[in-house]
Amino acid sequence: MKTPRSRPIVPAVVTLVLALASGSTLAQEKAPRGESPDATSFAYAAPAFIKELDSRYPAQPPVPPAPRYGGVLHFPATVRTFDPTGGYRPELALVWDTLTEWEATWYFPDVQRTPVIRKTLATSWEMVNPSTWIFKLRQGVRFHNRPPVNGREMTAEDVKYSYELLRDKVQYATRAAVVKNIQVVDKYTVKFELTIPDPKFYLNVVDSLSPVIVPREAVEAPGGLAENPIGTGAFMLKEFVPGEGALLVRNPDYYLKDKDGRSLPYVDAVRLFFTKDPATDTALFRSKQVDLMRVATLDVLYALMKTVPDLQLYRVPSFGWGDYGVSMALDKPPFNDVRVRQALSMAINRDVVAEVINRGDASLYGPFPWGLAGYTKRADYSYANLGPNYQYNPKKAKELLAAAGYPSGFETELEWAEFQGWTFNEFVQLVARFWGDVGVRVKLRQLETATWVNKAGGSQPFTQAIAAFSPIGAGPSFMDWTYLRYHSSYPRTVNRAGINDPKLDDLLTTWRQDPGDKRPALQRAIWDHLRANVYRITTIVPPHYRISQAYVHGGGNPYCWFPGYCSYEAKTAWMTDKAPSRKFDKFAQ
């Protein structure tokens, strides 16, 4: 098989020069075949395409044949530093393990209702009382066999050290800040004492937003973890090139086995490319330089399927990550009036938003994920259950505005930004149009992406309203998705909308103190309270699309649609003999 490297550069250059020399018209004519399908024709084709996706790519794909060892897996990523003390990224889970992790199975929707926790460093846990937990550790787990750690066994002392080191770091704040004290009971047992009772604390240690376990020797060595990236994970970092990529090789001593007792991981190495531009991502996928990636919109997916027809797709409704919504300055007029918020929510036709944003391939989204609101099916998260505030009703919206003292509407500013291929541009224009229909005159203000990330995250104040994703949480943790995000005792960086509602605080506090019996009813009551008060205008959430080359199998799904973060199950992925032959002695091949 010809590798991409052997492709002739001269014909490529000549053809390109000729094409470009003939003017931009050619590019415009060719564009519909590739990157951006013609908007009008694809709008008509989209429903049939979605139906085709439903039948051709079921959410639970066929079980792949037995795995094959070898190969080098390529995928795009964003890692600024391979140092857990310097910044969090899901990709760090390739090198460092948490006490447990989500088993990224294919099965939807079961996994969103009943998550499967893979026991990695911890093999069992026990709640002594809601403020005290005991975790038993796996025996015989060894750190990577590299100096200065040299394959030493991981013990309870390492867990205590890691939690004490990382719990105050900003990136682990939501998971570890509730840990008051950690005691080493014996070599393989640790006891956690919490600052607040939490009957679901075991969910806090599951993913890589909770502290990973690091060896003290590596942290204290010159250069710290950045120079000594040693963990217990399935891969060992071989080369890290900031801003460019990284190469990780298989850890031969990794402790986890697959269900048939085979050693993990299957692939020899993983190569990460730190891409920043959606056009680069798709070009890398088309040229088979990356094997897996996420796609932001149906349009891009359609364009990619035209040019890479044998790609494999995993498409699953989002639990809540990646929605399109509007946060408002709740502490000042006019948004401090619930009638205004209700009116603005009613003014938006969510069906049109779904059509424009993602050709109709999207689900409704409300105050928090469906599984936490007590619904048993994703389809129950409907207009009927969300209630009148989520149904398009411009007449009622105008009445509410008039009742709130704004019969002629008002002027407001809506901030937004481009973000990794998401279509906030179209979204804010729709919102401006719908709000304009009820008399609210919107001035759109585009922000630089980094500024928008900070404003949407509550680190900096926004002026009046901002289009952004909703805050997300870990797995099905109501604490993360809801309690922290809506309780007035938390700062804006946690309670992003700055909600201060005594009744809501009471409900949330009662929920937190309940041992578990009344929690489902309380969660539904909180859901009812939030959908009535519309503290944040939520609209739709597109599904997650994960695509892979035909020669990549298994690997589970990227679990970003479930706990909220994107990572790939590199440790269970394997590649067929049709995969390109790749070296892994250094990052740049």
Partner 1 sequence: MRSYIARRIGQGLLVLWLVSFAVFSLVRILPGDAVLMQLDAAAAPTPEMLARARQELGLDRPFMEQYRTWMSGVVRGDLGRSLITRRPVTQELVKRISLTSHLAVMSMVIALLIALPIGVLAAVRQDTAADYMGRLIAILGLSLPDFWLATVTITFLAIWFQWIPPIGFAPIWQDPGRNLSQLLIPALIIGARLAAVSMRMTRSSLLEVLRQDYIVTARAKGARERAVIVRHALKNAFIPVVTIIGQQFSVLLGGTVIVEFIFLQPGVGSLLLDAVMLRDYTLIQGAVLFFAVVIVAMNLLVDLSYSWLDPRIRYR
Name which of residues 200 to 239 contact partner 1 (CB under 8 A).
209, 224, 226
Least separation in angstroms between residue 476's CB and partner 1 is 15
CB closer to partner 1 out of 110 and 277: 277
CB closer to partner 1 out of 136 and 169: 169
| Residue list 122-181, contact with partner 1 (CB under 8 A) | 168-174, 177
DSSP 238: E
- With b for 16 or more beta-carbon neighbours within 10 A and e for fewer, the 168-182 pattern comes to ebebbbbbbbbbeeb
Q: How far apart are CA 558 and CA 162, in angstroms?
A: 26
1 Cα distance to chain centroid: 36
CA-nearest of 528, 496, 534 to 341 is: 534
Among 64, 65, 242, 374, binds partner 1 (CB under 8 A): 242
CB closer to partner 1 out of 126 and 585: 585
AA letter at 326: V
Residue 244 lies near partner 1 (rule: CB under 8 A): yes
| Residue list 461-500, contact with partner 1 (CB under 8 A) | 469, 471-474, 484, 490-491, 493-494
Which span (29-37, 52-60, 126-134, 258-266) binds partner 1, by CB under 8 A? 29-37
Build a one-symbol-per-residue string for 421-450: x at contacts with partner 1 by CB under 8 A, - elsewhere.
Answer: ---------------------------xxx
Count of residues binding partner 1 (CB under 8 A)?
Answer: 85
CB closer to partner 1 out of 67 and 458: 458
* DSSP H stretches of helix in 154-227: 156-166, 173-176, 216-220, 224-227
Residue with tokens 């990973």: 212
Build a one-symbol-per-residue string for 64-103: x at contacts with partner 1 by CB under 8 A, - elsewhere.
Answer: ----------------xx-x--xxxx--------------
Least separation in angstroms between residue 383's CB and partner 1 is 28
CB closer to partner 1 out of 279 and 521: 279
Residue 24 lies near partner 1 (rule: CB under 8 A): yes
CB closer to partner 1 out of 166 and 432: 166
Among 142, 152, 216, 288, binds partner 1 (CB under 8 A): 288
Q: How far apart are CA 352 and CA 439, in angstroms?
A: 19
Crossing angle (nearest 10°) for helices 394-403 and 338-346 = 160
Residue with tokens 């509730």: 178
CB closer to partner 1 out of 384 and 588: 588
Which span (119-127, 153-161, 280-288, 325-333) binds partner 1, by CB under 8 A? 280-288
CA-nearest of 118, 150, 124, 154 to 256 is: 118
Among 15, 124, 129, 509, binds partner 1 (CB under 8 A): 15
CA-nearest of 415, 449, 456, 457 to 432 is: 415
Least separation in angstroms between residue 280's CB and partner 1 is 6
Least separation in angstroms between residue 245's CB and partner 1 is 7
Which span (7-15, 137-145, 198-206, 522-530) binds partner 1, by CB under 8 A? 7-15
Q: How far apart are CA 416 and CA 42, in angstroms?
A: 26
Residue 454 lies near partner 1 (rule: CB under 8 A): yes
Among 1, 9, 48, 63, binds partner 1 (CB under 8 A): 9
CB closer to partner 1 out of 439 and 542: 542
CB closer to partner 1 out of 363 and 470: 470
SS3 at position 231:
coil
Per-residue 3-state assignment (H helix, E strand, C coil) for 345-376: HHCCCHHHHHHHHHCCCCEECCCCCHHHHCCC
| Residue list 324-383, contact with partner 1 (CB under 8 A) | none
Which span (30-38, 101-109, 181-189, 514-522) binds partner 1, by CB under 8 A? 30-38
Q: Is the dihedral of CA 53, 55, 60, 64 positive or negative?
A: negative
Q: How far apart are CA 563 and CA 322, in angstroms?
A: 12
- With b for 16 or more beta-carbon neighbours within 10 A and e for fewer, the 559-589 pattern comes to bbbbbbbbbbbbbbbbbeeebbebebeebee
The count of other CB atoms within 10 Å of the CB of residue 354 is: 20
CB closer to partner 1 out of 79 and 344: 79
Among 457, 498, 514, 529, binds partner 1 (CB under 8 A): 457
CB closer to partner 1 out of 188 and 324: 324
Beta strand 189-194 with 179-186 is antiparallel
Residue 279 lies near partner 1 (rule: CB under 8 A): yes
Q: Are 324 and 540 contacting, i.e. CB atoms less than 8 angstroms apart?
A: yes
Residue with tokens 């084709």: 45
CB closer to partner 1 out of 205 and 264: 205
Build a one-symbol-per-residue string for 505-544: x at contacts with partner 1 by CB under 8 A, - elsewhere.
Answer: ----------------------------------------
Residue with tokens 């298989």: 250
Residue 459 lies near partner 1 (rule: CB under 8 A): yes
Residue with tokens 């989500």: 102
